[in-house]
């Protein structure tokens, strides 16, 4: 009799197992350089345990977390637009989940500045009369380098690096590097495209943004595009005349997948939502900094 009562108590009060959590963590993209001969912004670093991760790396290992413990989440902002003549862009901000950090995308360079930044993916460089400057470096297992600039006449900027490919050089198209497709939500979505270079004329020589939210570069008749929000896409390089400002980088995202037997608490400061996909729950966090915990 005592054994039956004890078994009933344990059955009624069963506690879910600690969750094993798959993740996608994408940082904010960098912005492009402003005005003519500008490089595109690099995409935010991308780390994932599902489908693909950035920089050509192998898939990471899911985290087994403790119940009732707070884990910090930060969704990185994109780098702000460079507004004015011959200004380098701004780096994107890093995104985090628990022990996982994806590094913000590197800024694109501008004519006379010659200083694209490294990042999750690197920013595109510029060229001048004599030197083809090197694009910013990417981060291993997160993203690729930005494209080199082209010296001479005409000199051209390189595209920002993407999570899935390097930015194209100024001697080529100056396109942003492509991102990678991840299916953690149950559908394939591409993240982490680099921004295209800007160009001074009204020709079609600006670079296109890489797949996964990269912004196309500006010209003398079209504004540079921003990286797409919640993809970590890099911003396009600025053009000329009234369209000199660069495109801003796109914000990052954090997506968590875990067994449906567990529940998540999303703390204040974070914007997120949860859906059920098969035998799992998927929580998508699109902005902010705060804590999550599992039960």
Q: With respect to residue 8, please indicate whether it lies within any of the assigned structural domains.
A: no
Our count of domains for the chain comes to 1
Q: With respect to residue 18, please indicate whether it lies within any of the assigned structural domains.
A: no
Q: With respect to residue 1, please indicate whether it lies within any of the assigned structural domains.
A: no
Averaged pLDDT of the chain: 93
Q: With respect to residue 281, please indicate whether it lies within any of the assigned structural domains.
A: yes
Structural domain boundaries, residue 120: 23-295
- pLDDT for 205: 84
pLDDT tens track for 229-271: 999 999 999 999 899 999 999 999 999 999 999 999 999 999 9
pLDDT tens track for 93-117: 999 999 999 999 999 999 888 899 9
- pLDDT for 78: 98
pTM: 0.94
Q: pLDDT tier at 200 (50, 70, 90 boundaries)? A: confident
Q: With respect to residue 4, please indicate whether it lies within any of the assigned structural domains.
A: no
Q: With respect to residue 80, please indicate whether it lies within any of the assigned structural domains.
A: yes
* Percentage, residues of the chain above pLDDT 90: 85
- pLDDT for 5: 35
Q: With respect to residue 13, please indicate whether it lies within any of the assigned structural domains.
A: no
Q: With respect to residue 253, please indicate whether it lies within any of the assigned structural domains.
A: yes
DSSP character string of 130-161? S-BPPPPP--TTT--PPPPPB-SSS-BPPPPP
Contact 102, 74 (CB under 8 A): no
Higher pLDDT, 220 or 193: 193
pLDDT tens track for 122-166: 999 998 888 889 999 999 999 999 999 998 888 899 999 999 999
- Which residue stretches of the chain are H helix? 2-12
Kindly tell me if the per-residue pLDDT of 7 is higher than 70: no
Count CB-CB contacts under 10 A for residue 90: 29
């Amino acid at each position: 009799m005592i054994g039956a009562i004890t078994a009933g108590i344990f059955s009624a009060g069963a506690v879910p197992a600690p969750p094993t959590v798959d993740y996608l963590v994408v940082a904010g993209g960098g912005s492009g350089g402003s005005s003519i001969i500008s490089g595109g912004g690099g995409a935010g670093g991308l780390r994932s345990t599902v489908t693909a991760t950035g920089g050509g790396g192998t898939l990471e290992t899911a985290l087994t977390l403790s119940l009732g413990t707070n884990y910090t989440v930060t969704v990185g902002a994109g780098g702000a637009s460079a507004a004015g003549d011959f200004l380098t862009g701004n780096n994107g901000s890093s995104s985090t989940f628990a022990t996982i950090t994806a590094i913000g995308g590197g800024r694109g360079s501008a004519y006379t500045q010659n200083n694209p930044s490294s990042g999750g993916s690197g920013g595109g460089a510029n060229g001048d009369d004599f030197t083809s400057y090197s694009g910013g470096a990417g981060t291993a297992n997160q993203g690729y380098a930005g494209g080199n600039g082209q010296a001479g006449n005409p000199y051209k900027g390189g595209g920002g690096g993407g999570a899935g490919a390097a930015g194209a050089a100024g001697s080529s198209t100056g396109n942003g590097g492509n991102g990678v497709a991840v299916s953690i939500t149950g559908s394939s979505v591409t993240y982490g495209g680099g921004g295209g270079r800007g160009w001074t004329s009204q020709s079609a020589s600006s670079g296109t943004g890489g797949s996964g939210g990269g912004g196309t570069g500006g010209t003398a008749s079209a504004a540079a595009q921003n990286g797409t929000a919640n993809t970590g896409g890099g911003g396009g390089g600025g053009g000329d005349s009234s369209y000199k400002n660069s495109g801003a980088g796109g914000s990052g995202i954090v997506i968590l997948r875990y067994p449906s037997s567990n529940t998540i608490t999303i703390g204040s400061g974070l914007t997120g939502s949860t859906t059920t996909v098969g035998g799992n729950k998927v929580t998508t966090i699109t902005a902010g900094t705060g804590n999550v915990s599992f039960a």
